[in-house]
Structure 1
Amino acid sequence: MYIRHIWFSIITLSVFGLDQLTKIIVQKTIPLGHAIPVIEPFFQLKHIKNPGAAFGISIGNRFVFLTISILAIIVIFIYYLRLSKQHRGSYIALGLIMGGALGNLLDRVVYGEVTDFFAFYFGTIRLGDHLISLTYPIFNVADIGVSVGVSLLVLLMLIDEYRLHQTNKEARVESSMDSSPAHSTGD
């Protein structure tokens, strides 16, 4: 077995396992709708159920959403299998994404919803007569895996694009130097 398969599997299973473990702990220790302050008032653990997509985005039809989730996992796996050995960081990114996707998919299949619990509060602002609470959508370990994995994958793609651009730029400079009259070996 290739080392990249081992790392991809370890990362996928670690994210999946940590996600499921933290959800079980939250379900057993924090009543639904309640919160435990961790860093008051900035961060708390708040037990909620999310029937939608990541960060509470509503999707609508459950069957369609499950189908899209399964297709996304298949696409991630096919992309992983097609990567060359040189893309080591991509295996880490795809392992994070796969672990998170599998964790939330399992919850949706078994429970019809996902347990979320990381809650951040950034204060309140006044707009006219209205007070607006600045909160970040409540999320879980699976969401972290997907978000960090996608961010890492995009960063790696940008780095690859930059390197390709630099290589092409150097090749053009060499080509123009080779064809200049000062470098010709003519009479």
Structure 2
Amino acid sequence: MNYILSFIVLALDQISKILVLKYLKNIGEFPVIKNFLHFTYVENRGAAFGILQHQKWFFITMTILIVGFIIIYFRKERGYPKPMMIALSLIVGGAIGNFIDRVVHGFVVDFIDFRIWPVFNIADSAIVIGQVLVVYVIIKYDKLEQKEM
């Protein structure tokens, strides 16, 4: 289940970015709901909010370490709550999606633009949702070994 969810996130992310590169890159922006939701082509050479610009190798190295750790965790731990495993699956899928962008293009393709927030992509969304779920599990459970919610 963990790998399937990671793969679904990765596939949705990469398909959306292929479409963005093919159809949106040349026009730059497409309003979906005017003044609320636009698809805006952005080449992000940093991390969230554009911080740490041009640190490609740092992000590649960190992604390999984090994803490697989570995969080892998947293989070793079977008793953690389902929300934790879902969270880590989302993080892995999103991290690999952005990793592929950095390796192939040298930047991450962002395109979801709500105008009041920095432009992001499906991988970013999965990572953030995964992080929120991790925090939820940490707050909800006294001991991560508990299986019931």
Q: TM-score, normalised by structure 1?
A: 0.71
Q: Who is 1:146 aligned against?
A: 127
1:38 and 2:29 matched: no
Match of 1:77, as an amino acid?
I
Superposed CA deviations along residues 116-166 of structure 1, whole A, max 9, x for unmatched, are 000112xxxxxxxxxxxxx311000000010001101110111002999xx
Mapping 1:49-128, distance limit 5 Å: 49-121=43-115
Relative contact order, higher structure (CA 8 A, sep 6+): 2
Q: Secondary structure at the match of 1:105?
A: helix
Q: More strand per residue: 1 or 2?
A: 1
Identity of aligned residues (%): 37
| Count of matched residue pairs | 145
Match of 2:103, as an amino acid?
V
Q: Who is 1:181 aligned against?
A: none
1:136 and 2:117 matched: yes
Among residues 8, 14, 35, which one is paired with 1:14 in the alignment?
8
Match of 1:52, as an amino acid?
G
Superposed CA deviations along residues 25-61 of structure 1, whole A, max 9, x for unmatched, are 1111113571111111011000111111133222443
Rg larger for:
1
Q: Who is 1:155 aligned against?
A: 136
- After superposition, the CA RMSD in angstroms is 2.0
Bigger drift between 98-107 and 62-71 goes to 62-71
**Runs of 4+ residues deviating >6 angstroms:** none
Q: TM-score, normalised by structure 2?
A: 0.88
Given that 1:32 and 1:48 are in contact with CA atoms closer than 8 Å, whether structure 2 keeps it comes out as: no
Distance 1:88 1:38, change over 3 A: same
Distance 1:52 1:33, change over 3 A: farther
Distance 1:59 1:72, change over 3 A: farther
Where structure 1 has 5 or more consecutive residues not aligned to the other structure, the ranges are: 1-6, 122-134, 165-187
Where structure 2 has 5 or more consecutive residues not aligned to the other structure, the ranges are: none
Distance 1:49 1:19, change over 3 A: same
